[in-house]
Amino acid sequence: MSEPMTQWTTVCKASDVEEGVPVTARAGAKPVGVFRVGEDICALHDVCSHAFALLSQGFQEEGVIECPLHAARFDIRTGAVLSAPAVEPVQPLEVRIVNGEVQVRG
């Protein structure tokens, strides 16, 4: 896992984030997946904890993201693992919306 970011970083526009079609972004060196779940926008460290794959390229069903490589599932709001083959959680990032832009930190 990369160093925690103490500064807020803009990653995309809030209007770019559709439910079911996450946005693949970066905050500096950190890969960030941005997800819409209902009214909320959430962000996770984007790399699956099991093998190298970007979760934002995976399959979203409501508040759950499934990894495109081996179908490990994570809770989008908390990063918790919901099913194997992953056993470790992924890091959830703090999110705020400023002037229609999604900013993340953590």
- The answer to whether residues 85 and 92 touch, using CB atoms and an 8 Å cutoff, is no
Q: How far is the CB of 98 from other proteins (least distance, A)?
A: 27
How far, in whole angstroms, is CA 59 from its chain's centroid? 12
Q: How far is the CB of 99 from other proteins (least distance, A)?
A: 27
Q: How far is the CB of 59 from other proteins (least distance, A)?
A: 4
Name the site residues for other proteins (rule: CB under 8 A). 20-21, 51, 53, 57-59, 61, 66-71, 84-85
Nearer to other proteins, 36 or 103 (CB): 36
Tokens of 17: 């984030």
- The answer to whether residues 104 and 94 touch, using CB atoms and an 8 Å cutoff, is yes
Nearer to other proteins, 35 or 103 (CB): 35
Tokens of 90: 């992924």
